[in-house]
Structure 1
Amino acid sequence: MTLLCFPYLVLCGWTELANSTSTSGGPRARSDSKASVIAEEGPNYSRLLLLLHGFSGSSDYFDRNFDELAKNHWVVAWDMRGHGRSGLVKARKGASEEESEQDNDGKENDEKKENGETSYKGGYHVARLATDLHNLLTFLKTSRLGFSPQSLPQPPLEVIGVGCSIGAAILWTYIELFTDSDFFSGFIFVDQAPLQDRSLFDSWDSTKAHKGCYDEATMLGAQQAWNLPPEDRHATHLGLVDECLGYRHKPLPTDKIDEKERKKDEEFFTGISAQCPSGEWLAKLIADHTRYDHREACEGISKPVLVMGGKRSGCFSLEGMEEVVKRAKKGGNEKAETSWYESGHWLFWEEAERFNGEVLDFAKRCWSE
């Protein structure tokens, strides 16, 4: 695979490839379930549910979703560049680009910055992550053919992209760079507005922009929080949890979350953020992410669209997320709809059963046509 850093993959319903492919730390098979079949003769690796996690997350975000989604489908999630167990390109002081090393295990090398963290170079742009996605899909398209009997038909790869938070932004950027005509059958965008910053254009104010990171000052504050030394960054990770779990951001008397579960969720998500190789790299990525205006890109989506949003999200308003559907329809796409949840930004975690059911129903509608 032609990537600057090799991604950590989670492959469900594709045990053969998972057991035979070597990347950094993985990939791994998360389920023994079977993919759907071609002509009842063998596994169908032509239809893929692709899960994209959010900022500072990893494929582990979907631990409550893999098994159900993979019962009859091929499911892939990947740790994006600079996240989880995927690496970054290390930068040596005074070294040329050719001498820079590639970090595929997320571990620090001997050369430290003043804050005790390895220095990394490049890749902190949403467009770079979208290009990684294109390379990944090309790899999956060609690799799957080696595990089906040659006597079986080989239909084109059809993908339902499920992008959560920055994962949605990566899909919009992919559409802008490569269009949606090559791999995709439909898109699910989870709790992400198409522009985080407030804007002079098209009345994009506090009612639609990100609730906490929406201009130069708030972006710089976010960068400072993520650029702290690793040992001081726990409060940043904890703040993300408070923002993204609905029962913490906007608690209700009806929430049935005891202290044990609350603590378990906290440790799970802060632990994932702590896996990221570099806080500095994430700080650079967030600057690019928050300024990126995807509204016009949404007008170019020709495939079915489902926007999911949490009513208790600490990140975006429903009005901001609804702009995706409005823009898709403005571009002539009438197969665009919304689904609002009672939880927060990580609705796939808080309302996993509903999320899983809606993803499967959406996929069925897309692939039945």
Structure 2
Amino acid sequence: MPSFKANDGIELHYSTHGQPSLPPLILLHGFTGTSAVFSRNIPKLSESFFAISPDLRGHGESGKPKAGYHVARLAMDLKNLIDHLELAQGRISAIGTSLGAAILWCYAELYTTKAFKKLIFVDQAPLQNYTSDWGPEHGNRGCNSSEALATIQHTLENDPQAAHLGTITACLGYRAYPQPADPTEGSTEWKHDEAFFLEQALKGDGRWYGKLMADHTALDWRDAIAQSFGPGSGSTTEVLVVASTRSGCFPAAGPLKGVDLVNGGSDDGIAKGVTVEWGGHWCYWEKPDLFNELALKFLQL
């Protein structure tokens, strides 16, 4: 797995797949994940794109600093990766899942959208916390207040396995909102998925994860999305928002609000929204063929 040093000296690992002559496609994993979460998507996506999947700092094989637990730092890491690989501005596409979507919003606010041709945001609302104008119909189902955050931070530090098992339950649709034909507890798929995601999550430090979640949870990206992508921004980056009716993290209306923000409330614009029922927060893992088809239909237009 190749690596490079970010501008602050932290070593960041990434993998590449496909021919470098193909258009670049960056895959950004979410909280406690690694680049390996895209292992079911990369074989198909890399037929048409030069797929690049980094391990975010604090995750996977990348450096584990004591500081840097901020979405803005992760956005700077993305900028460092793009510069390191000398990717052509305006030719890049990216898929940001969960936290990965917030990294892309932050990147756009800091560096504009000019680097990107197309972006896919997967099941991430522009605000997790509940506020006077943002409640349970849009915000995070679990981590949505200072009290909930404190509980999650305590568990991440003192019983990380329990914390990660809670994340797995919320993020897999067949656990969050089971249907009759879904895998059941004790089945091969149930046990395999749990072991895989637990192994990836345990590569990071619970205290660091907790600090990152505090930053991620507090940030309100609504105005930033409108300013960076919306009417009057000059942005030509096309956007696809993927939400899930079976996400244990967000009601579908939360992520889909991003479409309204990009389009300025218009029914027509550079953003489109899709609601899926065949997977949860990690729909790209649960039903990779369906997700790949959805992603490629948008990316190859």
Same-fold call, TM cutoff 0.5: yes
Q: Residue 58 of structure 1 aligns with which residue?
A: 34
Who is 1:354 aligned against?
A: 290
Contact 1:310 1:340 in 2 (8 A): yes
Equivalence map 1:73-84=2 (5 Å)? 73-84=49-60
Q: Which residue of 1 aligns with 2:263?
A: 329
Q: CA deviation at 1:7?
A: 1.2
- Deviations along 1:14-71, one digit per CA (max 9) or x if unpaired, are xxxxxxxxxxxxxxxxxxxxx3xxxxxxx515x2111000001000000110100011
Is the 2:242–2:256 Cα contact (8 Å) retained in structure 1? no
2:178 matches 1:245: no
Match of 2:70 among 109, 120, 125: 125
The CA distance in 2 between the partners of 1:190 and 1:131, in whole Å, is: 21
Instruction: Tell me the equivalent position of 2:99.
Output: 166
Are 1:3 and 2:14 an aligned pair?
A: no
Secondary structure at 2:153's aligned position in 1? helix
What is the Cα deviation at residue 254 of structure 1? Answer: 2.6
The equivalent position to 1:268 in structure 2, one of 190, 196, 219, is 196
Look up the SS of the partner of 2:11 in the other structure. coil
* Residue 157 of structure 1, CA deviation: 5.9
Paired residues of 1:54 and 1:166 also in contact (CA < 8 A): yes
Contact 1:309 1:347 survives alignment (8 Å) = no
Q: d(CA) in 1 for partners of 2:156 and 2:262?
A: 33
> Residue by residue, what CA displacement relative to the aligned partner does 1:188-213 show, whole Å, maximum 9, x if unpaired?
0001000000112xx21111110000
Offset at residue 156 of structure 1 (A): 4.9
The runs of 4+ residues in structure 1 deviating greater than 4 Å are none
CA distance in 1 between partners of 2:117 and 2:223 (Å):
20
Distance 2:148 2:89 in 1: 44
Q: In 2, distance between residues paired with 1:222 and 1:62?
A: 26
3-12 vs 165-174, greater mean Cα deviation: 3-12
Q: Which amino acid aligns with 2:63?
A: G
Separation (CA, whole Å) in 1 of partners of 2:201 and 2:41: 19
Residue aligning to 2:161: 234
Shift of 1:3: 3.2
2:224 counterpart of 1:288: no
- RMSD of aligned Cα (Å): 1.6
In 2: Cα distance, 1:159 partner to 1:251 partner: 36
The verdict on how the C-alpha distance between 1:123 and 1:141 changes in structure 2, with shifts beyond 3 A counting, is same
Provide the residue aligned with 2:127 in structure 1. Answer: 195
Identity of aligned residues (%): 40
What is the TM-score with the length of structure 1 in the denominator? 0.75
Across the two proteins, how many residue pairs are aligned to each other?
286
Q: Shift in Å at residue 344 of structure 1? A: 0.6
Give the counterpart letter for 2:296 in structure 1.
Answer: L
8 Å Cα contact 2:90-2:117 kept in structure 1: no
* Structure 1, unpaired ranges of 5+: 14-34, 36-42, 90-119, 143-154
Local SS of the residue matching 1:75? strand
Aligned to 2:21: 44
Letter aligned with residue 175 of structure 2: R
Cα distance in structure 2, aligned partners of 1:156 and 1:129: 19
**Quick one: distance in 2 between partners of 1:158 and 1:351?**
27
Letter in 2 for 1:7: L
Per the TM alignment, residue 291 of structure 1 is displaced from its structure 2 partner at its CA by 0.5
Deviations 1:152-174 (A, max 9, x none): xxx65611110000000000011
- Asked if 1:344 is matched to 2:277, the reply is no
8 Å CA contact 1:48–1:157 kept in 2: the answer is no
CA distance, structure 1, for counterparts of residue 202 and residue 27 of structure 2:
21
Q: TM-score, normalised by structure 2?
A: 0.91
On the 8 A contact 1:53/1:164 being kept in 2, the answer is: yes
1:298 Cα offset (Å)? 1.5
CA distance in 2, matches of 1:195, 1:80: 21
Q: For each residue in 1:295-316, what CA deviation from the matched residue of structure 2 results, as whole angstroms up to 9, or x when unmatched?
A: 1121121211101112110000
The code of the aligned residue for 2:138 comes to K
Distance 1:191 1:351 in 2: 15
CA distance, structure 2, for counterparts of residue 3 and residue 56 of structure 1? 23
Cα deviation digits, residues 103-152 of structure 1 (max 9, x gap): xxxxxxxxxxxxxxxxx2x201100100111111111116xxxxxxxxxx
